[in-house]
Amino acid sequence: MPWINVIDENNATGELKEIYNKIKKERGKLSNIMKIHSLNPDAMKRHMELYISLMFGKSDLSREEREFIAVVVSKINRCEYCINHHKEALMFYWKNKEKLNRFLYDFNSVTLSKREHAILGYVSKLTRTPSDICKDDTEKLRNVGFTDNEILDVTLICSYFNFVNRIALGLGVEFSEEEVKGYNY
């Protein structure tokens, strides 16, 4: 049970019900991370808009790379809710459960592309020690072919998951095996 009151789908009315229905239409179902916002429907709506923009909007980052970032940041922050949701999505792209499990145990235990390695290093540092990020860190991304737009998107997605991890951890957002499955990827 979350640590604050949550208005269930069956009890939602007015604007909240409309937002719940829109989210279900766009994502296939309603996640607990969205329901935790039920006392502030405007924040939920804007949160979902940001999520859709970053994870599904126009970007030169692939959907796989975006989910990779989500998993890395969530694992570093030990956010089981987001780890489980986004490992399900990353599995959709990797299609290799053994690789994914090894990766979650130790990021360096699997073979990664140069791009993935660069993303891993950058988002790990930005998550663990954000005040240590410097121009050289973005240069490392450029040196393996990242454009400024891609560097911005990596940074935005990393920052977004640090934000969301703190919502889930700070309010006791839970997941079940059923809750993490069945979303539109």
Per-residue pLDDT of the chain (185 residues; tens, 9 = 90+): 899 999 999 999 999 999 999 999 988 999 999 999 999 999 999 999 999 999 999 999 999 999 999 999 999 999 999 999 999 999 999 999 999 999 999 999 999 999 999 999 999 999 999 999 999 999 999 999 999 999 999 999 999 999 999 999 999 999 988 888 888 77
Instruction: Report the alpha-carbon angle 88-140-162, nearest 5.
Output: 40
Q: Which residue has the tokens 């916002």?
A: 37
- Which string of DSSP letters, residue by residue, matches 113-172? -HHHHHHHHHHHHHHH-GGG--HHHHHHHHHTT--HHHHHHHHHHHHHHHHHHHHHHHHT
Q: Which residues contact 34 (CB under 8 A, 6 or more apart)?
A: 20, 23, 44, 47, 48
**What's the CA gap between 30 and 67, in Å, rounded?**
19
- Rounded to the nearest 10°, the torsion over CA 34, 37, 40, 43 is -60
Per residue in 19-60, pLDDT tens? Answer: 999 999 988 999 999 999 999 999 999 999 999 999 999 999
Residue 95 structure tokens: 């299609």
Identify the structural domains of the chain with CATH numbers, from first to last.
9-56 (no CATH), 63-171 (1.20.1290.10)
Q: Most distant CA pair in the chain: distance in Å?
A: 52
